[in-house]
Amino acid sequence: MSPKALDYDSLNENVKKCQYAVRGELYLRASELQKEGKKIIFTNVGNPHALGQKPLTFPRQVIALCQSPFLLDDPNVELMFPADAIERAKHYLAMTSGGLGAYSDSRGLPGIRKEIAEFIERRDGYPSDPELIFLTDGASKGVMQILNVIIRGQNDGILVPVPQYPLYSATISLLGGSLVPYYLDESANWGLDMNNLRDAVQQAAFRGVTVRAMVIINPGNPTGQCLSIANLKEIVQFCIRENIVLMADEVYQQNIYQDERPFISARKVLFDMGPQMSKQLQLVSFHTVSKGYWGECGQRGGYYEMTNIPPETVDEIYKVASISLSPNVPAQIFVSHRTFSGLMVNPPKPGDISYLKFEQESKGILESLRKRARMMTDGFNSCRNVVCNFTEGAMYSFPQIRLPPKAIEAAKKAGKHPDVFYCLKLLEATGISTVPGSGFGQKEGVFHLRTTILPAEEDMLAIMSSFKKFNEEFMAQYEDHQGYSRLCT
Amino acid sequence: MSPKALDYDSLNENVKKCQYAVRGELYLRASELQKEGKKIIFTNVGNPHALGQKPLTFPRQVIALCQSPFLLDDPNVELMFPADAIERAKHYLAMTSGGLGAYSDSRGLPGIRKEIAEFIERRDGYPSDPELIFLTDGASKGVMQILNVIIRGQNDGILVPVPQYPLYSATISLLGGSLVPYYLDESANWGLDMNNLRDAVQQAAFRGVTVRAMVIINPGNPTGQCLSIANLKEIVQFCIRENIVLMADEVYQQNIYQDERPFISARKVLFDMGPQMSKQLQLVSFHTVSKGYWGECGQRGGYYEMTNIPPETVDEIYKVASISLSPNVPAQIFVSHRTFSGLMVNPPKPGDISYLKFEQESKGILESLRKRARMMTDGFNSCRNVVCNFTEGAMYSFPQIRLPPKAIEAAKKAGKHPDVFYCLKLLEATGISTVPGSGFGQKEGVFHLRTTILPAEEDMLAIMSSFKKFNEEFMAQYEDHQGYSRLCT
Ligand SMILES: Cc1ncc(COP(=O)(O)O)c(C=O)c1O
Ligand SMILES: Cc1ncc(COP(=O)(O)O)c(C=O)c1O
């Protein structure tokens, strides 16, 4: 009998080709160990609440009231909810037609799209059109929608930074397109070398692949770098010259841990070039409620904003969005929230209790992340075979691990990538669940791991010293000290 | 200069080919009219809360508490929330790692998947394996995931009922597969004729298309029919014989408005055939929180259960699900809820206040829907050129409209499908926003429209008489009374 459609042999090959390291072998092993009772520190994915970050109070109060609108009629409501949360909940409920239980328009609620446009205008200093903002169930879904519209087949190439966030490689595989890598320069703090970029496009053309879009991740995942204005300008000019769409993944725009390079959006850089230039780039930028100081990953809220995308194309994207009816409505409230209270341009009036608490909570989270970024970088750099750039932004540390030849051999014997081998041993020894660098792409013979900077501040020193102890033992086992290997003396 | 990647001309052709009528021309026009201040009755999509249905109290209390876990420590909590909602919220929070703000496993929270398996077991009388249950952001996303794994190219065919729900046609286009239609028999209450099915497969083979899966929608959208056990058995046998996957869209399983044909799952029919047969069908069934008496569309919660799908395939599907990280967590709570309190097999103990209220609310909704189904069918059938099967289940009425030749000509002149023409006029005249039958597929020269049965019970008579008045006027305008056309006398 011929295989059935859902037998492995007859599945869509593009599905099989996808790789998704963040939830790959390491994650699966970590889940197993957890089931067996081992304490696992899940630093494989940027999931702040899973590592103990508390939700901000105000938005959760608002969403609770929106979910239970009958509470608004309860005479006791003011005992449990501050007046501004009550008011805000009414504001959002009035935007819906039927509350959180009704499908919204497939692009999201008009009122929320308008608030996002206002947020973008405040941020960049240029007006934004709500009609060009689409809400999504997290930024991932938005990226997938846009790539789906762009990619027609294997001759369509997408420039993706290496190391990259695997959402991109996996989605490009799934859609049958071609990933065109460009390498970030570790020795220049993961900056972007324009020569690399040009080479990448030429080499792709040589293979018959036309580059149609370029992805930048700013601040970077897994690298943690913040792109400089100069770099951003070059990128924009390059995309205009090469006639390619720029996809700006700016989900970490509120996660910045240094003051020299604040976040600047690709859109602002474009518009700063003047009215002539600014019409020439097709740009889509992505944002989410999963990151920032919110970290509301489980809510699945995000949006993208399109710049210079023709209306007929917007209609096509709208149609595709319609197939799955509507992004989840509760998360839409969060998206708007962030843009509303998330910036300090539109603060509630003085004396407003929620505002103070919100400020305290959000600043507290960001300040603590900044400290943790520093502790982690320092911890890694204190190991003799580890070098690590400082986490300027985002939520990750991406140290390079220098592995001795014997370790590489042992990995080969075990049938594993050397970095997977290292990370598995780390996991078994310490419970620290990281992602091997090969999941993000890396240069031949160079090994990294990625970890989030999210473990609680008070646990950080212990985690780093547990890492260091493991690393020492690993090196002791595999390092060959020209005759005086530690193991044998 | 060559077109840019997001110019219309250079978009992915599969995207352009999609049609999605539910949010198509009619919906867009209705939205315009609404903006202009016209009162629109949105019966184009099964969106109960948008038409005034109130959310059930208990699950909303539970979700509000889960969103604001700090309320659980508030000394006033019992003033506003019943004790069983408090307890239930704690139960769900304990299942998460980090509350609703943390990504869950990409398949959903293990505890919820277990509760769903228990629900399925109670419903069907056969055990269900939580490992084969994946949670999704609404059933739509689940259907898309499974079709994505099955469809490899245009020679892969999917049997889809006609009339059908356009999620299927649109997704198949998007994935570049081939839709293989099989016609439901309007004169046999939209039943399924097995000969049609066999013909459809043969004709597909003739075009080089191999049928890999078959979709059934039970209860039907847009048809409202409930499949008989006999029909379901034939379908299962047919799929086994033809070696094709059965995709059972059972999202309306709790929306039944007659007693002769209660809902029976495809899975139960399969297992009732005995251990030998029951291993032979690859079956995926879909469910959602958007329908039933919940109607929590905006929350975007759903799941699918896989039967006889090999583990390597399950792993591949898991990997694809991982790309977008996790289904939204709040809706996962709703999914479980429905399975928990939604059936009367596991009732809270007597004296439990929430239980009584829940029963009252949910029964009230179902009873009212039953009445509305009857009022609508009768209303349509009271028009001389309209025939309409009774809505046995689901949420729709799908009357056939007999259009006079002059109307068809007028439509042609206007460059519209005749049914689109009719529905647009209906919209302009009455504000009733329906979907033309052509959006679901229909036989040549036969015209339908689809409306939901969701307008409030107290508005129903007025809506039906407004429809009748419009229809009379339309007929008066276009009917040719062999010489005594009403318009001319
Ligand atoms: C660079 C980057 N883009 C997008 C996402 C997707 O986030 P979400 O889908 O939760 O919005 C992530 C999540 O970690 C990310 O790191
Ligand atoms: C037959 C059918 N399947 C699936 C769906 C999708 O529902 P959701 O994605 O809201 O779960 C619908 C919605 O109307 C439907 O009618």
Name the residue of chain B whose CA is nearest to A326's CA. Answer: B298
B177 shares a domain with B247: yes
- CA B135 to CA B423: how far, in whole Å? 36
Name the residue of chain A whose CA is nearest to B138's CA. Answer: A324
pLDDT of residue B347: 44
Least confidently predicted of A34-43, A81-90, B139-148, B339-348: B339-348
Chain A residues within an 8 Å CB radius of B15: 148-149, 316, 319-320
Which residue, among B87, B171, B101, has the nearest Cα to B332 in the 3D structure? B101
The domain of A385 spans 8-52+368-488
Which candidate from A5, A290, A324 shows the least CB-CB separation from B282?
A5
Q: What is the average pLDDT score of chain B?
A: 91
B372 shares a domain with B333: no
The two tokens of residue B14 are: 């599969």
Place of tokens 């509507």: A326
Is residue B320 less than 8 Å (CB to CB) from chain A?
yes
pLDDT of residue A345: 35
Look at residue B117 and tell me whether its pLDDT is greater than 90. Answer: yes
A298·B49 Cβ contact <8 A: no
Please report whether residue B330 resides in a domain: yes
**CATH number, domain at A291?**
3.40.640.10
Look at residue B487 and tell me whether its pLDDT is greater than 50. Answer: no
- CA A42 to CA A30: how far, in whole Å? 8
Mean pLDDT of B357-363: 86
Which residue, among B256, B480, B481, has the nearest Cα to B373 in the 3D structure? B256
Please report whether residue B437 resides in a domain: yes
SS (H, E, C) chain B: CCCCCCCHHHCCHHHHHCCCHHHCHHHHHHHHHHHCCCCCEECCCCCHHHHCCCCCHHHHHHHHHHHCHHHHHCCCHHHHCCHHHHHHHHHHHHHCCCHHHCCCCCCCCHHHHHHHHHHHHHHHCCCCCHHHEEEECCHHHHHHHHHHHHCCCCCEEEEEEECCCHHHHHHHHHCCCEEEEEEEEHHHCCEECHHHHHHHHHHHHHCCCEEEEEEEECCCCCCCCCCCHHHHHHHHHHHHHHCCEEEEECCCCCCECCCCCCCCCHHHHHHHCCCCHHHCCCEEEEEECCCCCCCCHHHCCEEEEEECCCHHHHHHHHHHHHHCCCCCHHHHHHHHHHHHHCCCCCCCCCCCHHHHHHHHHHHHHHHHHHHHHHHHHHHHHCCCCEECCCCCECCEECCEECCCHHHHHHHHHHCCCHHHHHHHHHHHHHCEECEEHHHHCCCCCCCEEEEECCCCHHHHHHHHHHHHHHHHHHHHHHCCCCCCCCCCC
**Chain B 236-255, residues with CB within 8 Å of chain A CB atoms:** 243-245
Ligand 1 contact, A140 CB (< 6 A)? yes
**CATH number, domain at A401?**
3.90.1150.10
Please report whether residue A472 resides in a domain: yes
pLDDT of residue A338: 57
pLDDT < 70: residue spans in chain A = 1, 21-23, 337-351, 481-489
Q: Is residue B254 a contact partner of residue B293, using CB atoms and an 8 Å limit?
A: yes
Give distance in angstroms: CA of A139 to centre of ligand 1: 6
Chain B residues within an 8 Å CB radius of A143: none
A285 shares a domain with A156: yes
Look at residue B480 and tell me whether its pLDDT is greater than 80. Answer: no
Mean pLDDT of B143-163: 96
- Cβ neighbours of residue B149 under 8 Å, at least 6 residues apart? A6, A11, A12, A15, B313, B316, B317, B320
pLDDT of residue B341: 53
pLDDT of residue A408: 95
- Cβ neighbours of residue B215 under 8 Å, at least 6 residues apart? B158, B159, B160, B161, B164, B168, B247, B249
B278-325: per-residue pLDDT in tens? 999 999 999 999 999 889 999 999 999 999 999 999 999 999 999 999
pLDDT of residue A74: 93
B405 shares a domain with B302: no
A120 shares a domain with A18: no
pLDDT category at B489 given cuts 50, 70, 90 is very low
Instruction: For CA atoms B248, B249, B254, B257, give the dihedral sign.
Output: negative
B112 shares a domain with B47: no
pLDDT of residue A18: 87
Domain end (from A342, A358, A393): A342
E strands, A427-479, in order:
432-433, 435-436, 449-452
Is residue B158 less than 8 Å (CB to CB) from chain A?
no
Q: Which-ligand-closest: CA of A166?
A: 1
H/E element, A178: strand A178-185
Please report whether residue B85 resides in a domain: no
Domain end (from A342, A377, A393): A342
Please state the domain count of chain B. 2
B200 shares a domain with B140: yes
Mean pLDDT of B180-203: 92
pLDDT of residue A28: 87
Between CA A302 and CA B64, with CA B301 as vertex, the angle to 5 degrees is: 80
* ipTM reported for the complex, 2 dp: 0.93
State whether residue A401 is helix, strand or coil. strand
Please report whether residue A381 resides in a domain: yes
pLDDT of residue A442: 80
Is residue A149 less than 8 Å (CB to CB) from chain B?
yes
Which residue, among A445, A451, A447, has the nearest Cα to A463 in the 3D structure? A451
pLDDT category at B360 given cuts 50, 70, 90 is confident
pLDDT of residue A439: 85
- CA B24 to CA B423: how far, in whole Å? 12
A377 shares a domain with A326: no
Q: Going by DSSP bridges, is the β-strand pair A156-162/A178-185 parallel, antiparallel, or unpaired?
A: parallel
List all residues whose CB is within 6 A of at least one atom of ligand 2.
A 325; B 46, 138-140, 165, 167, 217, 221, 249, 251, 288, 290, 297, 302
H/E element, A288: strand A283-288
Please report whether residue A126 resides in a domain: yes
Neighbour-count burial for A457-483, b at 16+ CB within 10 Å, e otherwise: eeebeebbebbeebbeebbeebbeeee
pLDDT of residue B362: 86
B372 shares a domain with B279: no
Please report whether residue A416 resides in a domain: yes
User: DSSP alpha helices (H): ranges in A23-156?
Assistant: 25-35, 57-67, 77-80, 83-95, 110-124, 139-150
Query: Which residues on adjacent β-strands are paired with residue A432?
Result: A41
pLDDT of residue B459: 94
A108 shares a domain with A48: no
A251-301: per-residue pLDDT in tens? 999 999 999 999 999 999 999 999 999 999 999 999 999 999 899 999 999
**Chain A 8-47, residues with CB within 8 Å of chain B CB atoms:** 8, 10-13, 15-16, 18, 20, 22-23, 31, 45, 47
- CA B291 to CA B250: how far, in whole Å? 10
Q: How far is A477 from chain B (nearest CA, A)?
A: 34
> Which protein residue has the closest C-alpha to ligand 2 atom 14?
B46
B392-439: per-residue pLDDT in tens? 999 999 999 999 999 999 999 999 999 999 999 999 999 999 999 988
A398 shares a domain with A482: yes
Q: Is residue A163 a contact partner of residue A185, using CB atoms and an 8 Å limit?
A: no
The two tokens of residue A50 are: 């899973």
Ligand 2 atom showing the smallest separation from residue A103 Cα: 10
Place of tokens 């310490």: A430
Q: Is residue B304 a contact partner of residue A2, using CB atoms and an 8 Å limit?
A: no
Please report whether residue B436 resides in a domain: yes
Give distance in angstroms: CA of A377 to centre of ligand 1: 22
A252 shares a domain with A193: yes
B50·A322 Cβ contact <8 A: no
